[in-house]
Amino acid sequence: MTEASEWVTVRVFPGSRRDAVPPALFAAGAQSVQELADSFVTHVLGQSVANDVVCAMTALGADIRVETEPTPNIDWSEQWKQSIGVQRLGGLTVAPPWLAADLDPKHSIVIDPGMAFGTGEHATTRGVIRLLQHVVRHGDIVADLGAGSAVLAIAAAKLGATRVAAIEVDPDAIGNAVENVARNDVADRVTIIEGDAAALLPLVAPLNVITANIISSVLLALLPAMHAAVTPDGHAILSGILSSERDVMLSAIANDWRLIDEDSEDAWWSATIAPR
């Protein structure tokens, strides 16, 4: 049996190559990647795999820094739960099932983290949920792009949206999203759709609200499709953007969109925009 002490923790400080690091980590042998404000962390089995990851990362760019250390001998099947807490975000609360017993189901979102992104623990998710509460109106039609765990789609339904398309390209996230939708009793309003957001947006339009918590390079590519899909009085909420990228994003939206609201937490920036 493999001992837990044989696992190695690899932390990558991406420099100017942030978007390139996650796919390169997976290609080098990482099974999962945690994104932090200043770095990416993965755990790999054995020093030889860790060495391969280090080589792959340093080959990406001279300003990338990599640190490795033995992973502590911990029962991760239980320990990981300690890092997931209750997030109180305005009128909504996000919690895992084991902390949700006393919460009001009308104003809470219960998310089993599974393998999908979106537990409420990341600043980008929290930013969208805070902004969403100023935008969604009863009866709205909403699309969430890159739905992950479906936390944002569920939030939209809890805020009064009558139809929400939760679009996710990763097939491994679909099962978790479906389970979370059912757990929150919003399956009559939220539909999980597997596929490419740019291709599916015209099929679910017109939309009152679009949410997209995705890396900035993908957001930039999706802006025209979002503009075509949203109603003239609608809104889009963008997240997954570093605060250092704010000016670039504002420049990109200047011709077709106007900034309505914004939210900042840690190194992350989220924005509500509306079509001109």
pLDDT at 161: 98
202 phi, psi to nearest 5 deg = -60, -25
Say which residue the tokens 């239980």 belong to.
78
pLDDT computed for residue 42 by the predictor: 94
Predicted TM-score (pTM) of the model is 0.74
Domain of 95: which CATH number? 3.40.50.150
Domain final residue pick, 74, 92, 118: 74
**The domain boundary residue, chosen from 53, 74, 95:** 74
Strand partners, 272: 237, 261
CB 153 within 8 A of CB 181: yes
Asked whether residue 111 falls in the same domain as residue 154, the answer is yes
226 and 152 in a common domain: yes
Give the CATH number of the domain where residue 43 resides.
Answer: 3.30.70.980
Q: Which of 50, 74, 98 is the last residue of a domain?
A: 74
- Quote the CA–CA distance of 258 and 276 in Å, as a whole number: 6
Alpha carbon separation from 217 to 104, 169, 176, 246, 252 (Å, rounded): 37, 16, 26, 13, 11
Q: What is the pLDDT of residue 219?
A: 97
* pLDDT value of position 112: 87
Q: Along the 276 residues of the chain, how does pLDDT read in single tens digits? A: 344 448 899 999 999 999 999 999 999 988 888 888 899 999 998 899 999 999 999 999 889 999 999 987 765 555 556 667 899 999 999 999 989 999 999 999 999 876 556 778 899 999 999 999 999 999 999 999 999 999 999 999 999 999 999 999 999 899 999 999 999 999 999 999 999 999 999 999 999 999 999 999 999 999 999 999 999 999 999 999 999 999 999 999 999 999 999 999 999 999 999 999
Q: Is 31 found in the same domain as 89?
A: no
Q: How many domains does the chain have?
A: 2
Domain that holds residue 210: 81-275
> What Cα–Cα distance (Å) separates residue 130 from each residue in 109, 148, 169?
13, 18, 25
Asked if residue 175 and residue 122 are part of one domain, the reply reads: yes
Q: In which residue are the tokens 């998710």 written?
A: 125
Are 166 and 232 in contact, with CB atoms under 8 Å apart? no
What's the rounded Cα separation, in Å, for the pair 265 and 246?
13
> Within this chain, do residues 212 and 237 fall inside the same structural domain, yes or no?
yes
Specify whether 145 is located in the same domain as 57: no
In Å, what is the CA distance from 107 to each residue of 100, 238, 272?
A: 11, 23, 22
pLDDT at 37: 85
